[in-house]
Structure 1
């Protein structure tokens, strides 16, 4: 597990929202690249702990997105809001020489941030990003009808202990795909104290709002040709229209890397959409490659 002595929790005010973040090895800032991690819907900054545990000492920042983890903010109406917030976050912290690593929603958000801050980003690692086939975006009204509510809104939100949450999810998909420590991290850092117990750090209504909004991200397709830096796209087992809504399948457009000026496609059909928690060492290896770091650490 990453050394807690190198870990610092900070906060950055962006408009009405406070974005919380976890910074490691701040003493290494400016000595090499800075790794900027962004998580998927419903997760948090500490979900990257197991990936980072395989990396050498390097300056890194893991952000809690709007309404997730220890960040503030309620339900939102467009994924562009999150991209704008993280773009301003980069500027406010003066981050540069960035290697941006984004999973799922976080991949879309950091793609937006790269478009808005091209001078700050040296390379981009997209881990099964929710940047979908243009044909799927064209079916927006059919696949995400207006006024519908996502089932995540009905999630159990209160727990008596971290262990209760671990026990609840251990044998449920997709959490059953996680390594035991990744599941522990998800639960331990995904709960906040409340009167009488613990509650989800990402409220179900925030998670549900995000899950209803992937179609609002279609605009990113118009900006892919503006991304000059190297981009590696990691993809898992591909989703199609028949499997749309299966969270374990990859929503990533198979043609995404080809649509980027300097894109590389890495397809792993043996892995799910949740590959950072399923195989942290694999993702860490590609982080190290993107950042030109020394060999990753063994598990």
Structure 2
């Protein structure tokens, strides 16, 4: 990035397929979404991006982990892909926080994307909005939960064993949980620690405040699909409001939570392919090359 941070990108490249960018939410990683990435790579040319301070991306100074910098990262990454691979019709499948960055990139330069599928993007309404106080309360709750979280383990398996019976992870297969734990931990000496520190993850929630962004969303002209679960009333209210406010499409997925990229990767992949496929006929036979950039 222009400030010196290094982002990791998993590249499942296929020249004759549409370009699909995949991004994860705060505290997650590309490897945590391995099953989703692999599924989308059967029909698209995938570039899956780790946020700074997440996954295989480098750790960087906390003061640079701001809303403005994360938005700029998205713009610089897209521009970089166009330089390396050449310009191409681009679609986005983004989870949570990365969905906000994709919307900002589209506002910054219209038609960067053909279409977007966003999984529960935490759009923060302005202080005058009737959902503002509930959204802020939810973000404070997430910060408090993050600060309580254990961040050091003797092994990946220890983290898996600790989480497997918790209600939050009830819909995850054992493989998905193993991918998640392996994707968010890194080796440090004899221990495994969260690569995204508690301070960084907390900053991701605390910095998510409206700065005029909400009022600009109706100017986005490309089709945008909001995917949401049916377990969180605030998410549903925010989704319904965005449909009315910005004209976005929406689809509710039952038997899932905010973790749906890991819970139901094939379903998310199929919904995305169907939505993107309204613009282009997807090719599933082109050879692909997997690598990290």
Aligned mate of 1:288, from 273, 281, 289: 273
1:82 maps to what in 2? 70
Q: Note closer, same or farther for the CA distance 1:238–1:108 as it changes in structure 2 (3 Å cut).
A: farther
Q: Take 1:232 and 1:144, find their aligned partners in 2: how far apart are those partners? A: 23
Q: Is the 8 A contact 1:231 1:257 kept in 2?
A: no
Q: Note closer, same or farther for the CA distance 1:122–1:203 as it changes in structure 2 (3 Å cut).
A: same
**Count of residue pairs the alignment pairs up:** 269
Shift of 1:140: 7.0
Q: Note closer, same or farther for the CA distance 1:189–1:251 as it changes in structure 2 (3 Å cut).
A: farther
Where relative contact order (Cα < 8 A, 6+ residues apart) is larger, the structure is 2
Shift of 1:268: 2.9
Secondary structure, aligned partner of 2:249: strand
Q: TM-score, normalised by structure 1?
A: 0.79
User: Between Structure 1 and Structure 2, which shows a larger proportion of helix residues?
Assistant: 2
2:288 maps to what in 1? none
Shift of 1:41: 0.9
Deviations 1:219-262 (A, max 9, x none): 33122122111111111126446xxxxxxx6674312133335x
1:34 matches 2:25:
no
Q: Note closer, same or farther for the CA distance 1:102–1:142 as it changes in structure 2 (3 Å cut).
A: closer
Structure 1 residue runs without a partner (length 5+)? 1-12, 242-248
Shift of 1:273: 1.8
Secondary structure, aligned partner of 2:9: strand
Q: Note closer, same or farther for the CA distance 1:222–1:285 as it changes in structure 2 (3 Å cut).
A: same
Q: Note closer, same or farther for the CA distance 1:60–1:150 as it changes in structure 2 (3 Å cut).
A: same
Q: Is the 8 A contact 1:35 1:60 kept in 2?
A: yes
1:101 matches 2:121:
no
State the Cα RMSD in Å. 2.7
Q: Take 1:73 and 1:150, find their aligned partners in 2: how far apart are those partners? A: 23
Secondary structure, aligned partner of 2:161: helix
Q: Note closer, same or farther for the CA distance 1:143–1:172 as it changes in structure 2 (3 Å cut).
A: closer
Secondary structure, aligned partner of 1:208: helix
